[in-house]
Chain A
């Protein structure tokens, strides 16, 4: 089949069909525009399906041969789920009448897909930066002051990641003479810079706050796209470049733990989902850090599951935002009466994270097995507790406060049909993979021979989830569950939103005082000079007096005599 493809298509990076094809969107209207936008991810996925494994697209830039296309099992599995998410995201946002948002969303998706097929660091850098620039428009599309400020902060962090990637690539080229994007160790400055670049977008602890800052400010459709691409692109990059790097295990463990605590008391439910998104990245990072075949398979499979259930959760919150104008727990409640379908899909998304028959259950089983096989008992325990915690927060808490709890008196309509359809397709995919995990497992880099549906494992998971819900119910009933309040939580963004500006202001204050002193000293010296000149050249100054002609003649005679004497001594 690939033999029938035109040569240029074989050398075209996957994703470019989306990123370039979408430029026609502003010229189309109504249903034609919608149909065209839905068609683009389908065409892109077909293109990917027809590409053979191997490399293609080798232009020469600055004397370096690039590899625009590298197709293998790892890149392919990310590519397929990205195309699926792009299709579902377009369907969810179909009624949006904002060409800027529509173009930005597909350029973002297309460039993220391009990044996972990049075979060298220069190509990766180009796509990496394009995702940053395209995605910020999904935040700015909210057109509020808060969104504008959050978007600027987001862009700054994303561009920093790109600069680190470029610097790392340059240092690595000097050290190794190669621009190839392959497996590395944390042995030199170049690979450390690359690790940090990937770590920013993978939301490592302390580097994570751009996500919880910007994603809740995006448009409802924008946050669905944002929840998918940037972070999973970074997970792919870590799996490609740093598989088996042990520090990743501990970074993943820290990520899993701290995010749960923040998500417990956050009031904005989209921010709760943001923390939970980071939490699940921790699971993938642990798998990559373990680095065995099962660890990498588990991370990739969990990335697929995560794209599905997290985008479904963001769709549900997007639908709630669209209808009520808020995602704050303190302002929501009782929506199950007016939005029963959205409630159902949100419950399915919650189950999709960990419950048997859903995708999250099967991919977490691989990660747990990878930790157990390598005798990482504490890591395994963190994964078990993390699975319970994420189900509690992204699932039970979000569902409870948005759709049940007290009736907030919000009389709204059910979500629009296109949104419900997008949710239904995504929930269907979660269920299909859960029932038949081979759909994903057959795409993974290494063969998987695990059976997640042993009676013991199923029952253990049911106990874990049931007692988590029961515990939440008990804590609520006894008033021990921390109630969401109208507050924000200080996080690592405090460093660049408060501490750094305060330091700069203080520094400028100190500098200002020094400058003031310098200016005063200058004025004193200048004033002294002027006074001195005035004393000698002023109206009363000795040098400004009108001298008599006779004394002038005398002084000329003295000078001439001096000159005559000097002449004789020459």
Chain B
């Protein structure tokens, strides 16, 4: 019961998260900003930066876990 409720809440949270994210991107059509660098002036720059940073961190984390991950008792022996 609790597991089903958790899954349903998870689906809702996922939908809400993406809906809010999409809204912020759409709002960019109506709000201008002064760009310090050319790349900052591109439409959706910050949105892409957020997505890319999540992906890069996940990829880097998976790599470091493979390269540097050891058992919890590694230093105990």
A-side residues, CB < 8 A to B, are 260-262, 264-265, 334, 369, 372, 377, 380-381, 384-385, 388-389, 392-393, 406-407, 454-457, 459-475, 477, 480-482, 485-491, 497-498
Contact = CB atoms under 8 A, between A and B. Distances in A.
Contacts of B33: 454-457, 459-460
28 contacts: A260-B60, A261-B61, A261-B64, A264-B57, A264-B58, A265-B62, A384-B46, A384-B49, A389-B57, A392-B57, A456-B32, A460-B40, A462-B24, A463-B21, A463-B46, A463-B47, A466-B20, A467-B51, A470-B51, A471-B53, A473-B13, A473-B18, A477-B14, A482-B58, A482-B61, A488-B69, A489-B68, A489-B70
A384 B53 CA distance: 9
A469 B21 contact: yes
Contacts of A465: 50
Nearest to B35: A456
Interface in B19-36: 20-21, 24-25, 27-28, 31-34, 36
Q: How large is the interface on B (under 10, 10 to 19, 20 to 34, 35 or more residues)?
A: 35 or more
A454 B24 contact: no
A162 to B, nearest CB: 26
B71 A392 contact: no
A389 B49 CA distance: 10
Residue from B2, B58, B70, B72 with most neighbouring chain A CB atoms (10 Å): B58
Secondary structure type dominating chain B contacts:
helix
Q: Which of the listed residues A388, A406, A465 has the most CB atoms from chain B within 10 Å of its own CB? A: A388
Contact of A466 (B24, B34, B45): B24
A474 to B, nearest CB: 8
Nearest to A388: B53
Contacts of B20: 466, 470
Contacts of B49: 384-385, 388, 464, 467
Given A459-B33, A489-B65, A264 B60 contact: yes
A392 B71 CA distance: 26
A488 B72 contact: yes
B36 A372 contact: yes
A500 to B, nearest CB: 13
Contact of B21 (A260, A265, A470, A487): A470
Contacts of B39: 377, 381
Contact of A488 (B48, B54, B74): B74
Interface centre among B32, B49, B71 (most CB of A within 10 A): B49
A265 B36 CA distance: 34
B37 to A, nearest CB: 5
B70 A467 contact: no
Contacts of A470: 17-18, 20-21, 50-51
Given A407-B6, A482-B61, 4 more contacts: A334-B6, A470-B17, A471-B54, A474-B18
A473 B14 contact: yes
Interface centre among B13, B52, B60 (most CB of A within 10 A): B60
Given A377-B37, A488-B72, A388 B54 contact: yes
Contacts of A372: 36-37
B62 A463 contact: no
A393 B58 CA distance: 10
A497 B21 contact: no
Contact of B55 (A457, A462, A471): A471
A472 B21 CA distance: 12
B42 to A, nearest CB: 11
B64 A265 contact: yes
A455 B50 CA distance: 19
Given A465-B50, A469-B17, A473-B14, A488 B55 contact: no
Contacts of B56: 385
Contacts of A456: 31-34
Contacts of B14: 473, 477
Contacts of A498: 75
Nearest to A268: B72
Nearest to B63: A261
A90 B24 CA distance: 41
A381 to B, nearest CB: 8
Contacts of A459: 24, 27-28, 31, 33
Contacts of A491: 68
B43 to A, nearest CB: 11
A485 B72 CA distance: 10
Contacts of A466: 17, 20-21, 24, 47, 50
A488 B50 contact: no
Nearest to B61: A264
A406 B40 CA distance: 38
Given A463-B28, A469-B21, A470-B18, A393 B46 contact: no
A292 to B, nearest CB: 15
> Which 9 residue pairs spanning A and B have beta carbons closest together?
A456-B33, A264-B61, A471-B54, A467-B50, A372-B36, A261-B60, A468-B50, A463-B46, A388-B53
Contact of A385 (B6, B25, B53, B69): B53
A454 B31 CA distance: 10
A73 B49 CA distance: 36
Given A456-B34, A470-B17, A473-B18, A392 B53 contact: yes
Contacts of A369: 36
Contacts of B72: 486-488
A549 B56 CA distance: 104
A159 B3 CA distance: 51
A487 B61 contact: no
